[in-house]
């Protein structure tokens, strides 16, 4: 780019200096300055970060992560240089952490968050990152870190932070801290306030068995005037609390208010059955127990509910019906137990692999959690797109809200298992709790490792596609260039034809012009010769006249004769001059000048054509060779990315294998627990069958003393005469 020198751009001075410049010698004009813009890395870094934010908010996570990881590897990212008004290293770490978090790559998130905390511990992003780090720590069972973060970070979403801190305190059995945290979450308002009140009531019931009435009042108050899944779970918890407090009528009424289609429907029906049984409504309890066993055959309490229905028959004096009923239960359990023991060796491994491959192991195995007591948050909780954009812009995110949390239920788990492993797999295994339950940390870490390798593979594949597209674009550009060269050759051929036609026409015209020139030359020479002859004849005649006059010639006559002689000499000289300049005059004639110009131009056109043809020939050879190279093999960048994809595939297979092993161990442990439970239930059914036969043989009365199910045999989470615990 050419620009005028700076001095030439200044306004003209009209003072004495200007007048002095009038007499000063003119200065030589300054040569133009060629400006080459210097690279502005800070501005480019800022633009790249803003493009990454755009990718995040437009749901292009792989593009954002690819750009951010490339930026982090650049020298400027680690230089720490800050230009006023430009985004810097802190912003890069924040967007990188958010991208990892939204994609579920929690290891990467933790590393980026630690780097951000080290670089700017009290920076603008500290509050946003704090809530996310707490959620991540809670998912891994690191409750100490959750509570530490809650006390050290004062900024961020206080509702979410306080709620998670309260849940961590409950897990640590620090109910005083839990109540304080839940109170803070309630005071913060927003979407977590109701959940904080709910969890506070449950913490009250869990901290002291004598506070069941207080917890029940809080739960009933919370459920009034509300609708939806949350209210149904609150009513279920209220019903269970009322049952534990001995308020059987209230428990049955509360449980009856939960729809059967609800996620809390199964536990509500079982709670209702126990409430009716404990309240003395044996017939209603038997109906509820049988309905539960029929409607929810995959749940662990199914056989206990069937045993309780038989127990009620026996207590009602119907020993004959009870005997047949218990025999049927024993046969059913024996068949299920035999099938489970036969398939346990191989079915668990195949199912584990299928669940991991379908990426539903996490949603399936959370069935081990207490239904209605666990909140499930969206994966991007605390990292919503609007929240990230607001934090990046430096505006408050206090008004930002994400998706509301959901209370964990078993609804839909059987369908997910069937879709992943097929209907032949005993779904009851995934619902059976294991006695030695693992801490969530190991399972969360391996699940996250699989997810991280999924993303790494997806990112490597994305980069591979970029390189393949780049090579395709290069091939397309070379093909287009080759087409242009061919078109150029075709145009040159047409030009060559035009030059040849013009040369032929010019050659013909040259012959005509040469003939015409010769005719003009001959005509002029004839005229020159005739003029010379006339001049010579005049001179001869004048000489003869002067001789004949002799002495008689007077002065005027002599002068006239002399003038005529001079005129004849002038004509003769003119003829000589014309003859000497004849060729030059012909050469300067417009027709001959134009001919010479056309000849010169045609010569230049011919030379330019030959040069262009030679250049196009060389270019065609270069393009053809490069095109053959690009078509013949993949570029080095593509080969490198294929290697990275292969490495990511191997890493994913290893991570999947580790998770499959963990899920396999989990399913085997649950299967073992289910086998033990079924064995106890079958033994209870056998004992009840024998008891019913005994009372039938003894023609016993309608009241069965002592009950039919042996003492110590669990027919519910709390024993035969104890309702299920919360």
Q: Using one digit for the tens of pLDDT, what is the confidence trace for 137-165?
A: 888 888 888 888 877 755 667 788 888 88
486-533 pLDDT tens trace: 888 888 888 888 888 877 777 777 777 777 777 877 888 888 888 888
Q: Tokens 């539903």 sit at which residue? A: 360
Q: Where are the alpha helices (H) located in 550-635, listed in sequence order?
A: 555-587, 590-632
Please, which pLDDT band fits residue 695 given cuts at 50, 70 and 90? confident
**Which comes out higher in pLDDT, residue 107 or 598?**
107
Beta bridge partners of 2: 34
Beta-carbon contacts of 480 under 8 Å, excluding residues fewer than 6 positions away, are none
Contact criterion met (CB below 8 Å) for 100 and 69:
no
416-447 pLDDT tens trace: 888 888 877 888 888 887 766 666 667 777 88
539-576 pLDDT tens trace: 788 778 777 777 776 777 777 777 887 887 888 888 78
Q: Which helix (H) or strand (E) holds 406?
A: strand 406-407
pLDDT of residue 16: 40
Q: Is 181 left (phi over 0), alpha (psi -120 to 50) or beta?
A: alpha
Local structure of residue 299 (DSSP, 8 states) = S
Q: Tokens 């534990």 sit at which residue? A: 244
Q: In angstroms, rounded to a whole number, what is the distance separating the alpha carbons of residues 542 and 74?
A: 108
Q: What is the mean predicted confidence (pLDDT) over 324-333?
A: 89
Best-predicted range by mean pLDDT among 11-20, 395-404, 643-652? 643-652
Contact criterion met (CB below 8 Å) for 367 and 434:
no
Q: Tokens 């809670």 sit at which residue? A: 138
439: exposed, middle or buried (Cβ count in 10 Å: 0-12, 13-18, 19+) = exposed
pLDDT of residue 417: 82
Q: In angstroms, rounded to a whole number, what is the distance separating the alpha carbons of residues 189 and 330?
A: 53
Which residue in 236, 166, 232, 231 sits closest to 204, CA to CA?
A: 166
Range name among 371-385, 602-616, 625-639, 644-658 with the lowest pLDDT average: 371-385
pLDDT of residue 505: 78
Local structure of residue 422 (DSSP, 8 states) = -
Best-predicted range by mean pLDDT among 15-19, 27-31, 176-180? 176-180
Q: In angstroms, rounded to a whole number, what is the distance separating the alpha carbons of residues 352 and 659?
A: 9
Please, which pLDDT band fits residue 277 given cuts at 50, 70 and 90? very high
pLDDT of residue 497: 84
C-alpha 715 chain-centroid distance: 51
Local structure of residue 25 (DSSP, 8 states) = P
Torsion angles phi and psi, residue 535, rounded to 5: -65, -40
Domains and CATH numbers, the chain: 42-393 (1.25.40.10), 442-633 (1.10.287)
185-232 pLDDT tens trace: 888 887 788 888 888 998 888 888 788 888 888 888 888 866 777 888
Q: In angstroms, rounded to a whole number, what is the distance separating the alpha carbons of residues 386 and 399?
A: 10
Range name among 94-108, 300-314, 398-412, 443-457 with the lowest pLDDT average: 398-412
Token output for 596: 């010479």
Q: In angstroms, rounded to a whole number, what is the distance separating the alpha carbons of residues 547 and 722?
A: 176
- Cβ count within 10 A of residue 513: 17
642-687 pLDDT tens trace: 999 999 999 999 999 998 888 888 888 888 888 888 889 889 888 8
**Which comes out higher in pLDDT, residue 695 or 703?**
695
Local structure of residue 368 (DSSP, 8 states) = G
pLDDT of residue 308: 92
Q: In angstroms, rounded to a whole number, what is the distance separating the alpha carbons of residues 132 and 146?
A: 10
Token output for 238: 């209220």
- Cβ count within 10 A of residue 632: 7
Q: In angstroms, rounded to a whole number, what is the distance separating the alpha carbons of residues 161 and 166?
A: 9
With the CA atoms of 103, 106, 112 and 115 taken in that order, what torsion angle do they form, in degrees rounded to the nearest 10?
160
Distances (CA, A) of 89 to 61, 73, 96: 20, 12, 11
Q: Tokens 């008689």 sit at which residue? A: 552
Torsion angles phi and psi, residue 559, rounded to 5: -65, -40
**Which comes out higher in pLDDT, residue 383 or 714?**
383
- Cβ count within 10 A of residue 465: 14
Please, which pLDDT band fits residue 720 given cuts at 50, 70 and 90? very low
């Amino acid at each position: 780019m050419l620009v005028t020198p700076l001095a030439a751009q200044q306004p003209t001075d009209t003072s004495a200096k200007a007048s002095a410049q009038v007499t000063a010698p003119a200065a030589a004009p300054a040569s133009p300055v060629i400006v080459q813009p210097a690279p502005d890395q800070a501005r480019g870094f800022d633009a790249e970060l803003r493009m990454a934010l755009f990718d995040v908010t437009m749901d292009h996570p792989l593009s954002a992560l690819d750009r951010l990881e490339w930026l982090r590897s650049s020298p400027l990212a680690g230089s720490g240089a800050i230009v006023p008004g430009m985004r810097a290293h802190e912003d890069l770490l924040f967007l990188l952490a958010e991208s990892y978090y939204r994609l579920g790559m929690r290891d990467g998130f933790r590393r980026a968050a630690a780097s951000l905390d080290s670089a700017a511990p009290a920076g603008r992003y500290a509050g946003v990152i704090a809530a996310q780090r707490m959620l991540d720590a809670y998912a891994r069972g690191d409750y100490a870190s959750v509570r530490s973060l809650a006390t050290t970070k004062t900024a961020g979403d206080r509702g979410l932070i306080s709620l998670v801190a309260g849940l961590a305190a409950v897990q640590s059995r620090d109910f005083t801290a839990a109540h304080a945290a839940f109170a803070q979450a309630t005071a913060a308002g927003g979407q977590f306030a109701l959940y904080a009140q709910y969890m506070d009531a449950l913490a009250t019931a869990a901290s002291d068995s004598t506070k069941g009435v207080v917890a029940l009042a809080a739960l009933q108050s919370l459920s009034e005037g509300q609708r939806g899944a949350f209210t149904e779970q609150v009513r279920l918890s209220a019903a269970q609390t009322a049952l534990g407090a001995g308020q059987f009528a209230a428990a049955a009424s509360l449980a009856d208010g939960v729809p059967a289609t609800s996620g809390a429907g199964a536990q509500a029906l079982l709670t209702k059955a126990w409430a009716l049984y404990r309240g003395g409504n044996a017939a209603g309890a038997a109906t509820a127990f049988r309905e539960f066993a029929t409607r929810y055959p995959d749940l662990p309490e199914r056989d206990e509910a069937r045993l309780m229905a038989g127990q009620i028959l026996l207590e009602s004096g119907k020993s004959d019906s009870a005997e047949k009923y218990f025999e049927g239960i024993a046969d059913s359990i024996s068949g299920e137990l035999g099938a489970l023991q036969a398939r346990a060796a191989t079915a668990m491994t195949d199912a584990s692999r299928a669940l991991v491959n379908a990426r539903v192991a996490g949603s399936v195995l959370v069935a081990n959690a207490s239904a209605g007591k666990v909140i499930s948050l969206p994966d991007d909780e605390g990292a919503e797109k609007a929240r990230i954009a607001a934090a990046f812009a430096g505006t408050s995110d206090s008004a930002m809200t994400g998706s509301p949390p959901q209370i964990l239920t078993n609804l839909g788990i059987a369908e997910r298992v069937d879709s992943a492993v097929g209907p032949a797999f005993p779904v009851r295994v995934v619902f059976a709790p294991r006695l030695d339950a693992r801490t969530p940390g190991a399972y969360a870490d391996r699940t996250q490792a699989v997810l991280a390798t999924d993303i790494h593979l997806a990112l490597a594949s994305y980069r591979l596609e970029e390189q393949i597209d780049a090579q395709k674009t290069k091939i397309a550009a070379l093909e287009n260039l080759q087409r242009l060269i061919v078109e150029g050759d075709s145009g040159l051929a047409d030009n060559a034809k035009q030059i040849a036609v013009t040369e032929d026409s010019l050659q013909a015209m040259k012959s005509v012009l040469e003939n015409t020139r010769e005719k003009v030359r001959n005509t002029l020479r004839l005229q020159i010769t005739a003029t010379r002859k006339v001049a010579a004849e005049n001179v001869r005649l004048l000489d003869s006249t002067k001789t004949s006059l002799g002495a008689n010639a007077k002065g005027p006559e002599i002068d006239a004769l002399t003038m005529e002689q001079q005129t004849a000499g002038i004509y003769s000289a003119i003829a000589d001059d014309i003859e000497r300049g004849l060729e030059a005059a012909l050469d300067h004639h417009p027709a001959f000048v134009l001919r010479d110009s056309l000849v010169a131009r045609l010569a230049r056109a011919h030379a330019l054509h030959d040069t262009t043809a030679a250049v196009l020939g060389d270019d065609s050879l270069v393009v053809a060779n490069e095109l053959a190279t690009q078509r013949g093999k993949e570029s080095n960048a593509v080969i490198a990315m294929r290697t990275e994809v292969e490495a990511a595939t191997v890493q994913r297979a290893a991570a999947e294998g580790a998770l499959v092993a963990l899920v396999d161990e989990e399913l085997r442990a649950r299967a073992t627990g289910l086998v033990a439970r079924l064995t106890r239930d079958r033994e209870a059914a056998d004992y009840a069958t024998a008891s019913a036969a005994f009372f039938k043989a003894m023609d016993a009365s309608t009241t069965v003393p002592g009950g039919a199910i042996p003492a110590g045999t669990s027919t519910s989470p709390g024993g035969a005469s104890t309702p299920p615990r919360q």
